[in-house]
Amino acid sequence: MASPYWHLLVAQVRSQTQYRLSFAVELVFSTVLTLLDVATVFVLFSVNDSLGGFGGGEVFLMVGISALGFPLADLSVGNVERLRVYVRGGLFDAVLLRPLSALGQLLAMDLSARRAGRVVQGLAIYVLALVVAPVAWSPAAAVFAVLAPLSAAVFFGAIFVGGATVAFWWIESGEFANAFTYGGRDFTSYPMTVFGGLFRRVFAYALGFAFVAYLPALALLGRSDPLGVPDWLRWCSPIVALLAAGLAALFWRTGVRHYRSTGS
């Protein structure tokens, strides 16, 4: 079954590399320019050497987990956000007619090859963060250092799929999902102590974004959560990520069943 997806993927990569100069410019720019997102955190630290009670190295580790997890998810499932284009144009009918998984086809058909550069960049940031941050190294921490960004990627992947699925009910949802995907990436780059009120309760705990980078970073740093989350929960990001993926899959299935063609 892997081979039709593989052909779709290869066709995509080939078509995207046709305008060679433009593709090269895009690849380089997307690799270098997304550093500007990370640079924001450095600018903020140039003003104040602690943010929400955390030092530069500690926040850098949170940035690192998020900066690697997000592009991994963006590369593999980020293009699902084009679903609303398919639903609006009635193209999703064609997707459903083929004897392949609908989600699998969407992911393979719109893969954006230039996003690969950001994964490399994210990996570099994360490795640097592990060196710079005062990590309490132990065998468990070493394993978790690998698991944490992968869990973050799975979590963001679930957010991407969940956000796109909204289009089955709300075609004109436009930027709505961005609040949780790109918003989630920015949110997870900071300690939860920075935020407050209802906003923190909803984003950090109800939606689970605290588990993406903040709590895993605390586990790696050997610090307890000043907001009182029990220590054992800091290690639970893989479980939360799988839970989120399960919920997203369930939501997706409901959405596909609910799909009614626009008829155009």
Partner 1 sequence: MTGPDASGWARVPLAIAGAGFRRYSTYRQATVAGAFTNVVFGFMRCYVLLSVAGVAGEAGGYDRAQLATFVWVGQGLLAVVNFWNLLELAERVRSGDVVSDLLRPVDLMTTYVATDVGRAGYAMLTRFVVPVAVGMLAFDLYLPANPVTYLAFAGSVLLAVVICSACRFLVGLTAFWLLDVRGVSMLWVFAAGAGSGLYFPLPLLPDWLETLLWVATPFPALLQAPLDVLVERGPAWPLLAGQAAWLAGSVGLARVVQRRALRRLVIQGG
Q: How far is the CB of 238 from partner 1 (least distance, A)?
A: 25
CA separation for the pair 52, 46 (Å, rounded): 15
Distance CA 240, CA 101 (A): 25
Ranges of beta strands (E only) in 174-227 are none
For residues 215 and 124, the answer to whether their CB atoms sit within 8 Å is: no
Q: Kindly identify the residues of this chain, within the stretch 2-41, that bind partner 1 according to CB under 8 A.
A: 19, 21-26, 29-30, 33-34, 36, 39-40
Report if residue 262 touches partner 1, rule: CB under 8 A: no
Build a one-symbol-per-residue string for 38-67: x at contacts with partner 1 by CB under 8 A, - elsewhere. -xx--xx-xxx-xxx---------------
Token readout for 5 is 């997806």
Q: What angle do CA 69, 159, 263 make, to 5 degrees?
A: 135
Of positions 123, 132, 147, 194, contacts partner 1 by CB under 8 A = 194
Instruction: Select the span of 133-141, 188-196, 224-232, 256-264 touching partner 1 (CB under 8 A).
Output: 188-196
- Residue 228 CA to residue 237 CA, distance in Å, equals 17
* 264 near partner 1, rule: CB under 8 A: no
Closest by CA to 255, choosing from 65, 80, 45, 16, is: 80
If the CB atoms of residues 187 and 235 are measured against partner 1, the closer one turns out to be 187
Other Cβ atoms within 10 Å of 108 Cβ, number: 20
Q: Which is nearer to partner 1, 43 or 97 (CB)?
A: 43
The stretch near partner 1 (CB under 8 A) out of 88-96, 178-186, 211-219, 221-229 is: 178-186
- Closer CB to partner 1, 91 or 249, in the complex: 91
Q: How far apart are the first and last CA of the chain?
A: 30
Q: Nearer to partner 1 by C-beta: 62 or 102?
A: 62
Task: Provide the strand spans (E) within the chain.
Answer: 50-51, 54-55
Residues that bind partner 1 (CB under 8 A): 19, 21-26, 29-30, 33-34, 36, 39-40, 43-44, 46-48, 50-52, 170-176, 178-180, 183, 186-187, 190, 194-197, 199-200
